[in-house]
Amino acid sequence: MDPCRELIPHYEHIQQNDFAYRRHKKQKEEEIAICECRFNENDPFSTCEERCLNVLTSTECTPGYCPCGNYCKNQRFQKCQYAKTKLFQTEGRGWGLLADEDIKAGQFIIEYCGEVISWKEARRRSQNYENQGLKDAYIISLNSAESIDATKKGSLARFINHSCQPNCETRKWNVLGEIRVGIFAKQDISNGTELAYDYNFEWYGGAKVRCLCGAATCSGFLGAKSRGFQEDTYLWEDDDERYTVEKVPLYDSAEDEPSSKLPKTGNSPSEIRMSRNYECSSIMDWSMEAEHNSAALVVSPLDSVPNEGVLINPVKTESCDEMRLYCHDTQQGFAQKSAIQSNSAGKKKIGPGRKKKKHLKHHSNGKSKDVTEKQVDARYVAKLLALKEAQEEVLTNEELKNDAASQLASLYDEIRPAIEEHERDSQDSVATSVAEKWIEACCRKLKAEFDLYFSVIKNIACTPKDTTDQVQLSEVQHIGSEVKLLEFGET
Ligand X SMILES: C[S@@+](CC[C@H](N)C(=O)[O-])C[C@H]1O[C@@H](n2cnc3c(N)ncnc32)[C@H](O)[C@@H]1O
Judged by the rule CB under 6 A, the positions of this chain that interact with ligand X are 93-96, 135-138, 158-159, 161-162, 209, 211-213, 253
**What is the smallest separation between the CB atom of 69 and ligand X, expressed in angstroms?**
37
Give the nearer residue to ligand X in terms of CB position, either 221 or 453.
221
**What is the smallest separation between the CB atom of 117 and ligand X, expressed in angstroms?**
16
Q: How many CB atoms lie within 10 A of CB 426?
A: 14
**What is the smallest separation between the CB atom of 96 and ligand X, expressed in angstroms?**
6
Give the nearer residue to ligand X in terms of CB position, either 67 or 94.
94
Q: How far apart are CA 404 and CA 412, in angstroms?
A: 12
Give the nearer residue to ligand X in terms of CB position, either 243 or 278.
278
Q: What are phi and psi of 85, to 5 degrees?
A: -135, 165
Alpha helices in 221-266 (DSSP H): 227-232
The CA angle 479-483-487, to the nearest 5 degrees, is 100
**What is the smallest separation between the CB atom of 153 and ligand X, expressed in angstroms?**
13
Give the nearer residue to ligand X in terms of CB position, either 55 or 209.
209
Nearest position to ligand X, beta carbon: 94
**What is the smallest separation between the CB atom of 185 and ligand X, expressed in angstroms?**
18
Facing residues of 169 across strands? 184
Contact 99, 190 (CB under 8 A): yes
Q: How far apart are CA 35 and CA 22, in angstroms?
A: 30
Give the nearer residue to ligand X in terms of CB position, either 139 or 299.
139
**What is the smallest separation between the CB atom of 12 and ligand X, expressed in angstroms?**
14
Facing residues of 111 across strands? 182
* Element holding 404 (H helix, E strand): helix 388-424
- Which DSSP symbol is given to 422? H
Give one DSSP letter per residue of 31-75, joined into a string: G---------TT-TT-SSSTT-HHHHTTBPPPTTT-TTGGG----
**What is the smallest separation between the CB atom of 206 and ligand X, expressed in angstroms?**
11
Give the nearer residue to ligand X in terms of CB position, either 159 or 326.
159
Greatest CA separation for the chain: 102
Give the nearer residue to ligand X in terms of CB position, either 131 or 474.
131
Contact 161, 213 (CB under 8 A): yes
